Amino acid sequence: MIRDITIGQYYPAQSRIHRLDPRVKIVCTLLFLVSLFIQNSLLGYVVATVFLGCVIRLSKVPLKFIVKGLKPVVILLLFTVVMNLFLTRGGNTLVHFWIFTITESGLRTSVLMAVRLIYLVMGSSIMTFTTSPNGLTDGMESLLHPLNRLNVPVHEVAMMMSIALRFIPILLEETDKIMKAQMARGADFESGNIIQRAKAMIPILVPLFVSAFRRANDLAMAMESRCYHGGEGRTKMKPLKYKAGDIRAYIFTVLYVVMMFAVGRFVPFRLWIF
């Protein structure tokens, strides 16, 4: 059900990863994502797996939780795998029936692509699981601070993101409730053609919008009454300061990226087609 979506959620725990500066986590996550794309060898994926494994271990977030975060991208994943599997040509043909052909390089690409995508999602969800949304937005704000000079409202954007993250679970729960309430009035969301189904969404969407407006109104009032007036003159409860652990994390990640690069380029290790 709706409440199973874990992506973008914070998982409170006391771990080394949780304690890292959010800026470190954002930058390192980006580096990790880049590292997945700069090479394409089996050994490289082994290195990436070890790195990811270590980070997950250190983060104390249960693996089950992270795997659940993959649910929303399963369709995309399957789509990519199938497309790559059947459409990539090259190397020996492994299977051939009717119009479908699976080649060695098709299999290779689709498997590696799947792993790459999975790691991509896992890597970024580790970041959101271990960083409170406020920390995350603080980190973004700080990293994007130079853009302020170009008149980009960095603080406001960061605040908006943080509010969005806070209200995701609330609105999901609300959607669930409204759906049930309309079902209790005999609404049917499952049968009919596309147009009928789209129409059946109106009784959900209208109340949802009304409620979102009401909440927005309330929240704005609550923020104002607590003297919120934009980023100017604001102090921080948790100002970002690099500590020794943060520097270590940077170094560790950079070393990892270099390793990935080196392994992908210079170590000719192959196993069957991979």
Partner 1 sequence: MSIALEHVNYVYSPGTAYEKQALKDVSFEIEQGQFVGIIGHTGSGKSTLIQHLNGLVKATSGRILYEGQNIYDEGYDMRKLRSQVGLVFQYPEYQLFEADVLSDVCFGPKNQGLSPEECEARAKEALEMVGFPEKYYRQSPFELSGGQKRRAAIAGILAMRPKVLVLDEPTAGLDPKGRDEILDQVEYLHKETGMTVILVSHSMEDIARYVERIIVMNHGEKMLDGSPREVFSHYKELEKVGLAAPQVTYVMHDLKRRGFDVLPDATTIEEAADEIMKSFEKTRSSK
Partner 2 sequence: MIHAKELVYEYDKRDEEGNVIGTNRAIDGVDIDVPQGSFVAVLGHNGSGKSTLAKHMNAILVPTGGTMWVDGRDTRDPDELWNVRQTAGMVFQNPDNQIIGTVVEEDVGFGPENLGVPTDEIWKRVEDSLRAVGMIEYRKSSPNKLSGGQKQRVAIAGVIAMEPKCIVLDEPTAMLDPNGRKEVIRAVEKLRKEKNVTVILITHYMEEVIDADQVFVMDDGHIVMHGTPREIFSRVDELKTYRMDVPQVTMLAEELRKRGLDLPKGILRREELVEALCRLR
The contact set with partner 2 (CB under 8 A) reads 10, 12, 132-134, 162-163, 165-166, 169-170, 214-215, 218-219, 221-229, 233-239
Partner in contact with 65, chosen from partner 1, partner 2, none, beta carbon below 5 to 8 Å by kind: partner 1
Binding site for partner 1 (CB under 8 A): 3-4, 62, 64-65, 68, 174, 177-178, 180-188, 202-203, 206-207, 210-211
Partner in contact with 238, chosen from partner 2, partner 1, none, beta carbon below 5 to 8 Å by kind: partner 2
Q: Which is nearer to partner 1, 46 or 202 (CB)?
A: 202
Q: Which is nearer to partner 1, 61 or 158 (CB)?
A: 61
* Closest C-alpha among 205, 200, 178 to residue 187: 200
Q: 20 in helix, strand or coil?
A: coil
Q: Which residue has the tokens 């991979």?
A: 274
User: Which element (helix H / strand E) includes 205?
Assistant: helix 202-225
Torsion of CA 213, 217, 219, 223, to 10 degrees: 150
Q: Which is nearer to partner 2, 71 or 214 (CB)?
A: 214
Partner in contact with 237, chosen from partner 1, partner 2, none, beta carbon below 5 to 8 Å by kind: partner 2
Write the Ramachandran bin of 17: left for phi over 0, alpha for psi from -120 to 50, otherwise beta: alpha
Q: Which is nearer to partner 2, 38 or 219 (CB)?
A: 219
Distance CA 91, CA 105 (A): 6
